[in-house]
Every structure is written in structure tokens, then in C-alpha cells.
Chains A and B, each alone.
Chain A
Amino acid sequence: DTEVTQTPKHLVMGMTNKKSLKCEQHMGHRAMYWYKQKAKKPPELMFVYSYEKLSINESVPSRFSPECPNSSLLNLHLHALQPEDSALYLCASSQVGGRGPTEAFFGQGTRLTVV
């Protein structure tokens, strides 16, 4: 199984809503990532979990709250988002090797629209 599964595929939420994005992988990868991607732009790193611990937070606003309940799951909790947060949110995972992580496997993303 070389898949990273993200749910939901599409999400529309109001600025007062609370929602969560979910990501799952069963490749035994110990690094998991959240990226945000705007149209015609590259993915921007938000968070990295390594061995279920948050290792990188790219100064992301607190309205985005990541969670890694176990080595296979990664969540992104959303609260009080702004319309400019509308984007494609991508989850990825990779091995953590002796010289650092190798190639990343990406999910298909969640298309988020904040209204």
C-alpha cells in the first residue's frame, strides 16, 4: 500500500466553523507533513511531525492546529479561518533515514473553501 489518503476531498466552511482534515498512511513512514498550496503556486510547508512529535511549525497561525494521534494518522484542526485560507491542503509522508527523510508520498489533497 503506497497511498496517502486524505479526507474529505472538498470542504466548504464558514469563518465561525470548526472542522478537521484527516490524513492516513500505512507505509510505516515516521515523518508526516502538512502543506498548503494556492493556485499556480508551489506547496508551502506548514507542519512536520517526526516520530509523532511536532518537529517543524512554519509560523502557522494558531487557527490551524495539527495533531498526530499515532504513526499512521495526521489531523489538521481548523477554527475561525479566513477566506484567504482557501487553498488545497496536502498531506505527505516519508521515511526518516540515516541521512534524513527521502522521497515524500502525497495525498490527493483537500480543496478547502472558506466562505
Chain B
Amino acid sequence: SQQGEEDPQALSIQEGENATMNCSYKTSINNLQWYRQNSGRGLVHLILIRSNEREKHSGRLRVTLDTSKKSSSLLITASRAADTASYFCATRGETSGSRLTFGEGTQLTVNP
């Protein structure tokens, strides 16, 4: 079963704007990861945040993690048309071994 829930399901913005996507999960985690998927293609790992971290940056990406609320957010700043894709959070549970469970995803459309 999928443990991560994401909102919004779909997000449409203009180039240059910031995009924020949220992810909630149900069980204790070892780490939380964000992935991007262009239509019909494989997933690309974007960023990983461990359960003892609260915020992480990578280029135009900023990820936060609130383990007390079991939630994470992904912020993409200064968006570009090329950022158009589906974004998924994925969690590794503390006791789930190698299981990596994906949320429902957010479809981001960045209009030029």
C-alpha cells in the first residue's frame, strides 16, 4: 500500500514562480526522498532527507521534513518550463528494510 499522500494532485504555474508540493506519510521513517518523472519515463532521484534532518537544499530545490507532523515539502524556486513533470515523494520506513514506498504524486505544469 502507498503510505505517502501528496498535495496538490496537480499544480499549474507560470515560469519564474515558485512551486510547493507537500507529502504526508503514516509510519516512522528512516529517510524521505523526492523523485521526478517525465511522462512515461523512468524516475530521477532529486534529493534525500534523513529523519534527523529538518531542511535540505540542492540548487533550486528546498526540502523540509517535519517528523512530528509526518510531513515533507518540496519547493522549486524560479521554475522553468523544463520543470514540468510528475513529482513523487518516497519513504523508507525504519523497519521496512529495502522497501521504498511512493506517494500519489503531484503533476506540475510550468507554463512559459
Contact = CB atoms under 8 A, between A and B. Distances in A.
Contacts of B2: 42, 44
A102 to B, nearest CB: 7
B99 interface: yes
A102 B90 CA distance: 11
B30 to A, nearest CB: 5
Contact of A45 (B4, B41, B42, B101): B101
B98 interface: yes
Contacts of A50: 97-98
Interface in A78-115: 88, 90, 92, 94, 96, 99-109, 111
Interface stretch (B13-21, B61-69, B72-80, B102-110): B102-110
Interface string A37-66: 000111111001010000110000000000
B100 to A, nearest CB: 6
B25 interface: no
Interface of B: 2, 4, 30-31, 33, 35, 40-45, 48, 88, 90, 92, 97-105, 107
Rank and list the top 6 A-B pairs by shortest CB-CB distance, nearest first.
A42-B102, A106-B42, A103-B45, A106-B43, A108-B42, A48-B98
